[in-house]
Amino acid sequence: MLRIQTILFPVDFSKQCNAAASHVSALARHFHAKLTAVHVLQNSLPWYAGLVPSELETTVDITDLLRERKSALDDYLRHEFQDLPQVEKVLEVGDPATLIAEFARSEHADLIMMPTHGYGPFRRLLLGSVTAKVLHDAECPVWTDVHEEVSFLRAGCQSVLCATDTRPEAVASIRWAAAFAKSYGAQLTLIHAIPALAGLTHVSDERFRRHLAAHARAYIDDLRQEADSTARVCIEGGKIAETVRKAAMQYEADVVVIGQGCMHEALGRLRSNAYEIIRESPCPVVRV
């Protein structure tokens, strides 16, 4: 059983955060989780009016700025979160990405939910630096949103897609995806992409194609059994991010799950593709 008791929602008062709020609220409601909205005021604001920090200190009253941000945070998304069981709003000062990861660790957050700072097709071109660093540094799962106007969670989650490779570390993400899907009564599909198959078009390549696919399926089946999952398995040839996107559309996935090991391990197959998967995905992506 998946236990999500605390959700951390970093906010910067942007339109992207406004759009992500419906997913955050729906997920907190589904799991009866405590929601903590945290806003981090960057302690050195060199971008502000082109001033360096020393000039900023003599130009901007930090105390007044903190008071304004605290007031804004208290009022922010009050309507969207009004029916949640427990909401806490926290103002911090420092480096946003570092503080978000540290706050999640100290508060034992079960999930961080944040936008990618890109709408629609622009999401494919931009992944905010704070989001990218949190994805890399945070120890708990991180949910990145696509900012759709209508939240799928309001209608219920029906399909979950888990992108997996053949390493033992993939078991953790399969288990998380399976538990998440079970909590909604959703169908879980495991997708594994084999880039080498994309260029095999000659008739003589068919035996090699079948060999690669069968070899991969055997590994995935072992991982699925270890994760105690009955998910269906899909093996496709093609570029990883493109294949995951196509599978998400084919199976009408409401969320895509990728593994944490794929983000951190130097030679992990999905490492160089993780950000691209997030950019390309037509639905939210959870890095577990």
pLDDT for the residue numbered 151: 46
CA dist 115 → 17, 45, 48, 92, 176 (Å): 6, 22, 23, 19, 21
- Show the domains of the chain with their CATH numbers: 1-150 (3.40.50.620), 157-288 (3.40.50.620)
pLDDT for the residue numbered 122: 43
Which tokens sit at 227? 């994760």
- Judged by DSSP in three states, 76 sits in coil
Burial 2-39 (b: 16+ CB within 10 A, else e): eebebbbbbbeeeebbebbbbbbbbbbbebebbbbbbb
pLDDT for the residue numbered 264: 45
pLDDT for the residue numbered 200: 55
Span 206-255, pLDDT tens digits:
777 788 889 999 999 999 999 999 999 999 988 999 999 999 999 999 99
Full strand arrangement of the beta sheet holding 255-258: 87-93, 34-41, 6-10, 111-115, 142-145, 285-287, 255-258, 159-163, 187-194, 232-237
Residues sharing a CB contact under 8 Å with residue 220, sequence separation 6 or more, in sequence order: 164, 166, 190, 192, 233, 235
pLDDT for the residue numbered 139: 93
CA dist 13 → 36, 65, 236 (Å): 15, 15, 40
Q: How far apart are CA 270 and CA 265, in angstroms?
A: 9
Which tokens sit at 161? 């897609």
The 3-state DSSP composition of the chain as helix, strand, coil percent (nearest 5) reads 50, 20, 35
Low-confidence stretches of the chain (pLDDT beneath 70): 43-60, 117-127, 147-155, 199-205, 261-272
pLDDT for the residue numbered 272: 60
pTM for this structure? 0.85
pLDDT for the residue numbered 235: 94
Q: How far apart are CA 52 and CA 159, in angstroms?
A: 49
